[in-house]
Structure 1
């Protein structure tokens, strides 16, 4: 067994980080991927970090300006009527410098009692809460169009992006009106720490036969004075890399040369260089600088010939006398623009001044980024200080006075000796820990291992496997916790007292050690995993999974968790190929022969132009990838006749895009391609369709249908059963006929999957999507969404299981079949007819749900079933109970379920 704590390289790496107290900064940010929600909706941004210029009432204060939440009176509302000349603002303190790329807004809906929203807004931002800057788009327009109603969520890209800690959203109106807003900000951390750069203004290139090209920094947010830029950031930090041909741009409706800041050699006098100054948020140890430079030498443009950089440890200090100089290897054969990496020798500074020397007539930069470490250690070059200045020692830096050859300064000797002794002691401790871990690992290898298969399945196939099912307490989903359970829930049987008191079970150990039932009693009970017996004596009809096989009853050397009754079906590892979905779920478990045959065929889905996918919202994420809501421009024309999409009259189509992360493992990439191949061959009106793919380059993407009404769980939980009262009060409602129609559609989709021997393994209302006509399509996005995290039971901090929807054999034996999907279908029906107002087994904890699974295994009549929903016809509840039968052959098939449900719809 491999012990993670014994990885020497990992420990030594952590040790070095401990010595340095630093984390290497991330390189230049890519704005197309830096689009993560910053925490307004999920409250990672705390209430005290959100303020406003005014508020109408306490219940419409800034702390309620969170999208998709209905707290307080539903939104932030500034005081009084907003006039066109007013400047009311909502301010968010992001806590650190942030690269902001997207803003999302909503109005005040307040559960259908509000109708206030902002039709437009402006953005102001600041990096220090002192100097505020007004944002403008690349065309110079400061106003963003916002909402047209109170409930829609409107996303706006921030082009150019903003680097700031403080952001103000200022609603704009043309007439006097009441305005309310909810807000979410998207981006990522600006770990580079650069707060400003200064440089000469860029010039224009005018040459016969070429268009006029202007290389000014058009998005610079600092001061322009005397043909110099200072105190701000602009195009050199916007994440947009210039093209090889500087006359072409990546932005629409911009002029030639827009992506570059460029200078002509003779315009700077006789200097022969461009001097730039960079200021950072704190002192750092700089390892390198990356400069993206144009090299179109046919037009007199080359990368710089050399660069010299001076360092200033503090903003009020003087420049170090010794620069770092780097000579560039010029390339006169390849005209491609490229990054030039300049090593900076781990010099300590808060400010840098670099001189870039010309190699030709022109020099053009599109991006500059720095790699550094947060904490500052002494560097080889000492800072320049007056001889009489005292040596200072702080927690973040060590500055020493220059020594002279005549009178060496030995004041630092005790400090250095102390540091060396501390380092030696730490090394001794680390070596001891490594040896101790190796010893512990050897002991653990001899003991019964307590592991769980990473593929979400519990395996009982080796003598040393012990089930551990643990989970931290997870708060119940809103409206689904015990306090919100309806009055209709009744316990059919009380839990056995020994479940409530482990001591009772422990006292029974001598008696249980002689009984084959001991294994079944302990199996699936995580609270008693330490009470394993050393052997189990087998009775008639019981088997033992030991040594990789299934032993006869006379074998007595197996641990209790390896014993089970012969009519409990075991799980054959080779029968199923499990695909690790991009979002962390496993949508389909497919017979191995099916996958093998698919890997020899080409993907049937067509390659869609990646640039025609426009990001709108991140729907979810998992271990290896993300699910995005995007607009697909021209998708209907791309798919041609027979397109499954509704007619949009030429407008963009909303789609869900599964995207594999760049750091995904090779196994994840292979599984992603297999998932694409399988999805591309699914063609049913009740299964989510794979429309196209983007797999010719990274990141790998699959594009699927997106349903306007979202998932079935959210749809039903926001509605009541249709009645005279709902009609009179205009309350969103559904009829019993609607619920039956939904049930039939899910059965139809699962019937199709079962006909292909596909096993879903996560069937639930959260994985059923609806369009505007209430057509249901089965998908697999539920596990990736934080909204449904409480529906999954986390094991060992890694895998998650939807245990409240799983059959007993799936939890205890890792067996996933069409019959286990039938069990989950029964739970899904129960959800539908409770209108998703309650989580299944809501009065049981996760551990008690697993204990109840053990009761199904023992089949002694003490298992707890879900109650009959009041809306559910008795015949339909009887169908649910058939889905939850203990013996697999006794459960109905999806074909039988479909045929049984159809008459209900007709009636």
Structure 2
């Protein structure tokens, strides 16, 4: 026991930057990796702990990364360069960092992680060394961190395995019974619904219910007509002054085509420069009234804006998942503005709800949220992301503004139709005449317009930061034109106040410079689920 404790003693030598530099493994990380409730300090107040440098950190096989905390509290900058090396005997180094290999030590405490995967191309006994050169006043100080990891267990030989099945308990044979019962119940419901239509006093109206049809490629969803549309739709008149103003064409998609007189517009929920969201009711013959949400454009919307709303609003219309916000139907044609119809959700937009929870909107009392609630929200978003990736769909604009939350506190991913209009402060134009969510985008998306599942994962890290901060603006201190540069220099969002180190480590894991170093959605789900389980054990 005495040997373990002397490793954490501080040996004062080689002062750095007037005792301003600190570099250590936090107490939480030490407990997670080593099982010790102690802090392993490599540099404390500018002094190197030489004993810690010679301590080989034993990393368990199930640990995928080792995280460090550093900060430079001195007024003078301390530059760093990091070099890693493993014993794979290959030219390619298979361990990686989620920060830049060169840069400046941050002024505020930040966490960065060394990613230590176990794969078939690495030896079963992985040995890793990390050398950090600290430069201050033209003086260079070298720090060494040595780690060993046992990768012999077959369970961890493939870092890209689908871990979701390990998180969600596998169903036994009783699951098949539930499916059979569900199918039988569904058949019964359909039969009763069909019978109710024939028993309806005005059963001939049942044939007026819009069928689920295929919209052929090249079909105009917003087609010009010769007559002006003048029906009274309640709170708003959703018709253009020029009946032949727009013609919107979309790809082959399956959709519910709704009649305009089935929609009764109510109060305005959100209004932008050229778009609006309304409360509404949907009345289909032989069915009860249904509360819905309607997205549409104003009279001053240009053809490009209408086209963009329809293209973005119909991306998820055929998807069915508990964490995807479904599109109920489309109202189009007859010279009026097109309508996108969604189910009603109690709490509405997730970003606005998070702002309300910290008392920023309406002056109302905030809704109390604990860390478990925030992680649950993140898990719901991540389930939706994973489903999209399974369908070979890249979201491209993951953010809390593009999520909704219902009365059961279930979070659902939405399309990004009209988001630029409703949340203009989240989008910026960098001189290319295109508003983009600059501060949510991965480095390769910003610089090379490359979008992938990995760029979605980067954006999810920002979503997790948003949720943890109750919808603060990311990189609020950085000019949008400078975001690409500072990201290349290794700057990342700082750890939010009261955010556990483990949760911030998961965020930072998403912001690896190389997209190949970022985790997959199933890997992230495993880490978040395990952290959520640990939180529940503390209660």
TM-score after normalising by structure 1: 0.29
Higher RCO structure, 1 or 2 (CA under 8 Å, sep 6+): 2
Normalized per residue, the structure richer in helix is 2
